[in-house]
């Protein structure tokens, strides 16, 4: 019984010592990202990439609409076999258009991730350096916080921005 009590007390002391050396900070990565000049450039590149697909999809959709209109106009004069063949062609064309649109969306997301990855790595490196320089043992995403008594205490977002060479805007009191 004494051994169990000693173990509990020892664990309590260890936990207390650990808790006293814990310094928790948080950062809003989206805020940091939004103020980085590189993010505007990447968004511009993604937008241009997306526009290429949008133009292709619009062209394919117009072609599809023209074929549907042609089918509707000529359907009364077609034989059953020709009408069935044309309907199958239109269905296949519609499926192809939908697949192209889905593939385009996936390609855009992939391109966006590919272009933003170096920026996220740069932000993470800055977070690591700020945490080390300021003695933080834990840094959390601000979006993950459920409760914080004082939002000014522990927010390292502006420190991260400065580490990245970006001067944060002055924050107004709410």
How does pLDDT run across 100-143, given as a tens digit for each residue? 999 999 999 999 999 999 999 999 999 999 999 999 999 998 88
**C-alpha to C-alpha distance for 140 and 26, rounded to whole angstroms:** 5
Torsion-angle region of 10 (φ positive above 0: left; ψ -120 to 50: alpha; else: beta): alpha
Q: What is the CATH class of 25-163?
A: alpha beta
The pTM is what?
Answer: 0.69
Contacts 24+ apart (CB under 8 A), 122-130: 122/38, 122/164, 123/29, 123/32, 123/33, 123/36, 123/160, 123/164, 126/160, 126/163, 126/164, 127/27, 127/156, 127/160, 129/163, 130/25, 130/156, 130/159, 130/160, 130/163
13 vs 160: which has the higher pLDDT: 160
- What is the per-residue pLDDT for 144? 79
Q: How confident is the model at residue 17 (pLDDT cuts 50, 70, 90)?
A: very low
Q: Where are the beta strands (DSSP E) in 10-160?
A: 24-27, 138-141
pLDDT attached to residue 8? 64
DSSP 78-103: S-HHHHHHHHHHHHHHHHHHHHHHHH
**Closest residue by Cα to residue 34 from 43, 47, 25, 22:** 43
Name the strand (E) or helix (H) holding 151: none
CA angle 54–59–60, rounded 5-degree value = 100
Hey, what are 115's tokens?
Answer: 């272009």
- The answer on pLDDT for 5 being more than 70 is no
Compute the distance between CA of residue 117 and CA of residue 46 in angstroms, rounded to an integer.
13
- In this prediction, residues 54-83 reach a mean pLDDT of 93
Q: Is the pLDDT of residue 10 over 60?
A: no
Res 151 pLDDT > 70: no
Q: What is the pLDDT of residue 101?
A: 95
């Amino acid at each position: 019984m004494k051994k169990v009590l000693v173990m509990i007390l020892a664990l309590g002391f260890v936990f207390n010592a650990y808790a006293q050396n814990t310094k928790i900070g948080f950062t809003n990565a989206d805020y940091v990202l939004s103020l980085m000049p590189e993010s505007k450039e990447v968004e511009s590149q993604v937008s241009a990439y997306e526009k290429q697909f949008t133009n292709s999809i619009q062209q394919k959709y117009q072609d599809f609409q023209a074929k549907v209109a042609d089918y509707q106009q000529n359907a009364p004069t077609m034989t059953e076999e020709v009408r069935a063949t044309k309907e199958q062609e239109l269905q296949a064309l519609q499926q192809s258009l939908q697949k192209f649109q889905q593939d385009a969306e996936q390609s855009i997301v992939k391109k966006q991730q590919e272009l933003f990855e170096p920026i996220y790595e740069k932000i993470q490196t800055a977070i690591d350096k700020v945490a080390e320089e300021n003695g933080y043992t834990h840094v959390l995403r601000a979006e993950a916080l459920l409760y914080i008594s004082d939002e000014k205490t522990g927010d390292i977002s502006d420190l991260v921005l400065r580490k990245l060479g970006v001067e944060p805007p002055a924050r107004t009191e709410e």
